[in-house]
Amino acid sequence: MRSSPRVPAFDFVQETLQAYALNDRMNQLLLEHLDARAWRARVPGGKTRSIAAIFAHIHNIRCKWLRLSAPHLKLSARLDRSRCTLKQAQKALAKSAQRCSQMLAEALTGTRVQSFLRDGWARPWPPGIAMFAYMITHDAHHRGQVSMIAHQLGFPVQGAYRMWAWEKLAKEYGFLLAASTKTKRPARAGRLKAKG
């Protein structure tokens, strides 16, 4: 009888924290490849926030989550959406991501963080995967907005395609993704050819 290939041990908390770090790396990639002329520009005829305001919002919402869910963690200064620079946003997002990662670690291990409050009016959630998914989804939603606004302004983000190279991003951080191990791709895992 043939033995099945050995699968690396799965550490749920570690994998979750790594995924959150990669999520923030995607924000940083977007900022690194954003044309500076798009930072405060407005879409003609649109009532959308500027890209600067969107990134300030991401950071400030993280600060709210921390204040409500993990008040023992030191907060970063909030960003002024009408004045912050691209460099200030990069630095602030890195800090708030680090604090949110700490909050997630404490929530997922049952230490200190006992619930997740996403807003003062919202009911608390038990800490867990829904908390993590909500935080990731919030960032991803706004990354999509930024990419679309930059494109509409005539400054499509070049080079940010690296966001989709998770294995390479993980390697940059020194992470080993379970999928990074030497395993064969399943049959028919490639692109399907169109019939006809």
Digit-coded pLDDT (tens) for 14-26: 999 999 999 999 9
Q: Is 148 inside any structural domain?
A: yes
pLDDT at 23: 93
Angle subtended at Cα 168 by Cα 163 and Cα 170, rounded to the nearest 5 degrees? 90
Evaluated on CA atoms 141, 146, 152, 154, the torsion sign reads negative
* CA quadruple 130, 132, 135, 140: dihedral, nearest 10: -100
Place of tokens 């791709």: 185
SS3 116: strand
Q: Is 23 inside any structural domain?
A: yes
Please tell me the total count of domains within the chain. 1
Q: Is 4 inside any structural domain?
A: no
pLDDT at 183: 56
Q: Is 3 inside any structural domain?
A: no
Q: Is 128 inside any structural domain?
A: yes
Angle subtended at Cα 30 by Cα 24 and Cα 138, rounded to the nearest 5 degrees? 50
pLDDT in tens, the chain (196 residues): 555 555 556 788 999 999 999 999 999 999 999 999 999 998 888 788 999 999 999 999 999 999 999 999 999 899 999 999 999 999 999 999 999 999 999 999 989 999 999 998 999 999 889 999 999 999 999 999 999 999 999 999 987 777 777 788 788 877 776 555 555 666 665 555 555 5
Q: Is 165 inside any structural domain?
A: yes
Nearest CA-CA partner of 143 in 46, 10, 31: 31
Q: Is 193 inside any structural domain?
A: no
Rounded-to-integer distance, Cα 60 and Cα 135, Å: 13
pLDDT at 164: 77
Q: Is 131 inside any structural domain?
A: yes
- Rounded to the nearest angstrom, the gap between the alpha carbon of residue 153 and the centroid of all alpha carbons in its chain is 24
What's the CATH code of the domain at 87? 1.20.120.450
Rounded-to-integer distance, Cα 56 and Cα 51, Å: 9
Identify whether the C-beta of residue 116 lies closer than 8 Å to the C-beta of residue 125. yes
pLDDT at 166: 76
pLDDT at 68: 95
For the question of whether the overall pTM of this predicted structure is more than 0.85, the answer is: no
**CA terminus-to-terminus distance, the chain:** 42
SS3 166: helix
**Domain range enclosing 109:** 12-179
